[in-house]
Structures are given as C-alpha cells and as structure tokens.
Copies of this chain bind each other. A is one copy, B any other.
Amino acid sequence: MKTRDRIIAAAIDLFNEQGTKGVTTNHIAAAVGISPGNLYYHFRNKGDILRAIFEEMDAYGLERYREITAETPPGTLAAMERCFVMIQEYNWRYRFFKRELTALLLDDPLLRERFRLTHRQMLAIVRQSNECAVALGVFRPLAERELDLLSEAIWMVALFWLNYLEVGGEPVDDAGLGRGIEQLRLLIAPYLTEGARAELAAKSERPVP
C-alpha cells in the first residue's frame, strides 16, 4: 500500500474516532509511522487530505451502488432496501464526514462545491429509482410533485439516519439500522400498489434479512 493511501486510511480512522478538530497532521503522521515532513510531501495541508478522502468516498459509494443495481433492478423493493443498508454502511465508514459536514463545507469552498455536485447526483438517483418503481407497478402512478417530495423524504432518512442514532446516544448496530429500514417502509407504504404491499407485508414478518 502506497504511503499516500496509508495516510488517507489513517486519517479516516482518526477523524472517525476523535473528530477532525482533535486530529492534527502530526497525529496522522505518527499513526502511519512516518515523519510530519513526509506527510507534507504527499499533501499540501489538512484540507487537501480531506478533499482526497472525499474523492475516495465518492468513488466507493458509486461502486457499491453499481454492484447493487447490477444484481437488483432499480425500482424494486429489494433494491431500495439494499441501497438503504449500503448507504448506512457508507455513512458509518466515513462517519466523521457526515457528522461534521456543514462545518467542513463552511471551512472549504472547494469541498463545498464538490460535495454539492455529488449531493445533487444522489437525489437524482433516488428520484430515478422511484420513477422505475412506478414503471414497474411497485408504486401507484405519482404526480411530479409527489415524486419530488417522496424522493426527498427517502433521501433525507438515508442521509441522516446514522446521525440521528448517534445524536440520541443510541448504538449503531443491527437494531438501529433495522429501525431505519422500518422508517423507510413507513415512508413508502402509502404509495405501494396492492401487489407490492403484499410483498412488503410478507417481508416485514422477518424485518431485516
């Protein structure tokens, strides 16, 4: 593993544990087992590391999404729930980032622009998935406005569920994630067609596969 990648990996671990504020470039260098000077050979400054982490995050998320859609068609209930679980894992993996999101974006205009690009893409993907659900007969036909609001609601739960658990002091475990999935089901329940509703009911007997 290249030094650059080891720096990124160590930074993610430390940031997750102690927050970006509590972790200095010296700490990161020490964790990697290199000198502070060497770290500055690979990265201009701390913000540079942060941006590199974001690029890794973004690539990781898209890759995981492709894996899911390759196996499960978008718009199906199975795909929605798999995506939700994937996003929670993703948020956990880079949890410092979502935790400090607004503050990080406040500090770095470059990161801000970069993040919003991805954010808009994600929202579009959720919306597209819901359009597929309508086309597949999983959801009943929806007005444009309904589609917008529902997509946004789903994305919001996906985005903040982990944060919600943490803020409340709840452990981030299978039980917590399972409840997130229940929230998601609650959200889409009113829009399901009869057939899809029966499928969901059958699934709910064993809540999280």
Contacts and interface: CB of A to CB of B under 8 A. Distances in A.
Contact of A189 (B19, B101, B164, B190): B190
Contacts of A19: 103, 106-107
A56 interface: no
Interface string A109-122: 00010011001100
A153 B119 contact: no
Interface stretch (A27-35, A59-67, A155-163): A155-163
A183 interface: yes
Number of copies: 2
Interface stretch (A3-11, A74-82, A129-137, A166-174): A166-174
A194 interface: no
B102 A102 contact: no
Contacts of A123: 168
* Interface of A: prevailing SS: helix
A197 B169 CA distance: 36
A183 B153 contact: yes
Given A100-B102, A102-B167, A187 B153 contact: yes
Interface in A51-96: none
A186 interface: yes
Among A101, A115, A187, A189, find the residue whose CB has the most chain B CB atoms closer than 10 A.
Answer: A101
Interface string A179-199: 100110011011000000000
Which 3 A-B pairs rank lowest in CB-CB distance, beginning with the nearest?
A99-B102, A160-B160, A190-B190
27 contacts: A18-B106, A19-B106, A20-B103, A21-B21, A21-B103, A21-B107, A99-B102, A99-B106, A100-B102, A100-B103, A102-B163, A102-B166, A105-B167, A112-B169, A119-B167, A119-B168, A149-B182, A149-B186, A152-B183, A153-B187, A156-B157, A156-B161, A160-B160, A160-B164, A187-B187, A189-B190, A190-B190
